[in-house]
Amino acid sequence: MKTFSKGGVHPAENKIAANAPIEVMPIPKKAFIPVGQHLGAPAKPVVQKGDTVKVGTLLAKGESFISAHIHSSVSGKIEKIDHWMDTSGYKRQMIIVGVEGDEWEESIDRTPEIVREITLSKPEIIARIKESGIVGLGGATFPTHVKLMIPDGKKCDVLLINGVECEPYLTSDHRVMLERGEEMLIGVSILMKALDTNKAMVGIENNKPDAIAHLTSLAAEFSGITIHPLQIKYPQGAEKQLIKALINREVPSGKLPIEVGAVVNNSGTALAVYEAVQKNKPLFERVVTVTGKSLAKPANLLTRIGTPIGELLEKAGGLPENSGKIISGGPMMGKALTQTDIPVSKGTSGILVLPEEDSTRPETLTCIRCAKCVQACPMGLMPYHIALLAAHQKWEETEKSHVMDCIECGSCQFVCPSARPLLDYMRVGKQTVGLIIRNRGKK
């Protein structure tokens, strides 16, 4: 069975919410909708305090090349436009809506019928995806319409769909593939049309045999789409690793997948594309896994964007007393949250609660040069060396050691017997070197 070749690790899977069907999360009383929920420039508000909005009303416009529109997830009145903490831990601009009822924009098709025929042309599909504010739902939140605009001279010969969900604990993509499989595959066909390709491959790790079987039987009705079981190995859901696993091509350092003729999209994104193109529904809700060994009711919740995370925890049985850490995302790449009034955004794939005993980091010891981090790194880097350079703020050498190739997967830190905070150093190194490179470009 296929997988990527370099590095990788096998953390405990802990997919404890895998058998919990998607439930609809109650609408919040107040929605906190960030204007920057995506990679790139934040969107600019087009509403004001006191305005009345419906579900699906445009709240903020993404005007830069890399940006995305933001829509209301609720109906009601704009209470204020203010700064509020988001999952990054920083206060950012948000549009706060006091909820009244649940009135949707009339343009959204709310009927349960699945619309199979794709009538929009390629440019119309890309325009609709842009209008609907679709971004990558796997966590990277890159605006999808930008991914579909292939640069001159390049050609996408295969669309790869990421159904890997290799982060431990997370199960939202798994449930989408099982429960919304047909709509997701129509979404894949729409993406194929937008990319002018007749081939799509869906990669799913072998710990989801039900999703593999279900999509394999559905895919028989779809031209050009094939389903590919993959060996279980973290971080197979990363773009470059998925490309290597599925089509055995290597994306060169600093380049995008299109360099090797591929475009990668997440399975949840394919569903969002279906809803945007076939149902005229902007992206204002997503499935969020709320999980943890001590939670009473781990769940997969279809949640309106802007719902405070504390409300999802309540729905999952409340925050247990022994909780030590709340994480947005999974244990490998997720970010610890300091408070529970932070809202769900487009990139929130999961909320993980870790008990106290799993929340403290072991004491950091001296590096023993065992090279385990080097063996684990899927990008072929030398994490111990780069971390040391970053710690000493030797940015020129940090850059030369290819810090920008780091995909922040945390595999190095996971295997380190000395519990060195390698990922933290890699992130600091990437941020600083990234800034130096951008400033250099401005000169």
* C-alpha of 369 from chain center: 34
**Peptide bond preceding 235: is omega within 30 degrees of 0, i.e. cis?**
yes
Q: Is 88 in the site for ligand SF4 (CB under 6 A)?
A: no
Backbone φ, ψ for residue 322 (5° rounding) = -85, 15
Q: What CA–CA distance (Å, rounded) separates 306 from 311?
A: 11
Residue 407 CB, nearest distance to ligand SF4 (Å)?
5
Between 16 and 382, name the residue whose CB sits nearer to ligand SF4: 382
Q: Is 416 in the site for ligand SF4 (CB under 6 A)?
A: yes
Exactly one of 200, 384, 389, 433 binds ligand SF4 (CB under 6 A); which one? 384
Exactly one of 192, 247, 262, 406 binds ligand SF4 (CB under 6 A); which one? 406
Exactly one of 344, 420, 425, 429 binds ligand SF4 (CB under 6 A); which one? 420
Half-sphere exposure for 149 (CA within 13 Å, toward CB): 12
Between 5 and 217, name the residue whose CB sits nearer to ligand SF4: 5
Exactly one of 33, 264, 351, 377 binds ligand SF4 (CB under 6 A); which one? 377
Closest among 224, 290, 305, 238 to 266, alpha carbons compared: 238
For residue 432, CA distances in Å to 181, 200, 395, 435 come to 41, 37, 8, 5
Exactly one of 418, 421, 432, 436 binds ligand SF4 (CB under 6 A); which one? 418
Exactly one of 1, 213, 371, 435 binds ligand SF4 (CB under 6 A); which one? 371
Number of residues that make up the chain: 443
CB atoms within 10 A of CB 175: 24
Closest among 51, 142, 103, 85 to 308, alpha carbons compared: 85
Exactly one of 369, 400, 431, 435 binds ligand SF4 (CB under 6 A); which one? 369
Binding piece for ligand SF4, criterion CB under 6 A, among 42-50, 210-218, 269-277, 409-417:
409-417
Exactly one of 393, 408, 431, 435 binds ligand SF4 (CB under 6 A); which one? 408
Between 288 and 379, name the residue whose CB sits nearer to ligand SF4: 379
Between 143 and 378, name the residue whose CB sits nearer to ligand SF4: 378
Residue 358 CB, nearest distance to ligand SF4 (Å)?
20
Between 326 and 376, name the residue whose CB sits nearer to ligand SF4: 376
Between 345 and 413, name the residue whose CB sits nearer to ligand SF4: 413
Between 10 and 116, name the residue whose CB sits nearer to ligand SF4: 10
Between 146 and 422, name the residue whose CB sits nearer to ligand SF4: 422
Residue 364 CB, nearest distance to ligand SF4 (Å)?
10
Residues near ligand SF4 (CB under 6 A), total: 29
Q: Is 62 in the site for ligand SF4 (CB under 6 A)?
A: no
Q: What CA–CA distance (Å, rounded) separates 31 from 29?
A: 7
Between 174 and 420, name the residue whose CB sits nearer to ligand SF4: 420
Residue 332 CB, nearest distance to ligand SF4 (Å)?
9
Exactly one of 367, 391, 404, 428 binds ligand SF4 (CB under 6 A); which one? 367
Binding site for ligand SF4 (CB under 6 A): 367-373, 376-379, 381, 383-384, 406-412, 415-418, 420, 422-423, 426
